[in-house]
Amino acid sequence: MAIKIEKQIVDYNVVKPEHNDRVNDQSNDHDNKAQSAQQQSARPITESLDTGAQDQSKIVQMHEKVVRPDRLVGNTYKIKTPVSEHAFYITINDILLNPGTPFEKRRPFEIFINSKNMDHYQWISGLTLIISAVFRKGGDVTFLVKELQSVFDPKGGYFKRGGKLMPSLVAEIGDAIESHLKMIGMIVDTGLDPHQQALVAQKRKEFEAQNKLRGIDLEAGNFPAGATLCPKCHTKATVLLDGCMTCLNCGESKCS
């Protein structure tokens, strides 16, 4: 192939074949080193991603196919209501998932409700089967608490010890489940902060001091007999204090 030179030649150099080979070899070595360095720099990231993916894949989530172990950890809660002569005992067993790892967690697996009172045996047996099935299904099971607490007895509810209103026996079962889910960390307890607790304690001391002047001594942990129901915490603990209706349990006040 002929090449036409249109400009003036000012210099020249003879290129030998071995020189071309050496230049090509140097260029190839440089490319290989750059590629190797790039692969080495990317390897730790890839390996860490693979390790993380393997760790995530080993995490056991609660679902209905999780095999029940021979031994479960549980808690039993006693319910004594004025509507029944005998107490009810609620046992909730938990399964420990991913033990010994950063992903370890305790989840409810089954529930049992026992009592000498056989009047409620049929619906209580059905309720325990349904709740246990929901527990084993996994996911967010905290919705059970509100569903059970919203059940009202057409005959009327009752006040449990401490003055809290219970609309039904089913609602108190939901209250026991709520206490358990708070204990294992599934429900975050959004109770009074330290400042509110200090304020409620101060209000209670003021009220107790006023009653002592009148010769009335309140029992520890109880609220006055004449207290009315608090619309916020549903506890019979609202009294007239400094000309304002104030709840001695949650601090709710019409003047605040």
pLDDT over 50 at 132, yes or no: yes
- Which carries the bigger pLDDT value, residue 21 or residue 67? 67
248, pLDDT greater than 70: yes
pTM of the model: 0.60
Of residues 89, 68, 62, the one with CA closest to residue 78: 89
Asked which of 25-29, 64-68, 229-233 is least confident by mean pLDDT, the reply is 25-29
Strands 165-166 and 228-229, by their bridges, are: unpaired
Please state, for a pLDDT cut of 90, what percent of the chain lies above it.
30
Strand order in the sheet with 236-241: 228-229, 236-241, 244-247
Find, among 85, 189, 104, the residue nearest to 145 by Cα: 189
Query: In this predicted model, what pLDDT tens digit does every residue of 190-232 receive, in sequence order?
Result: 666 677 677 767 777 776 676 665 554 555 456 776 677 777 7
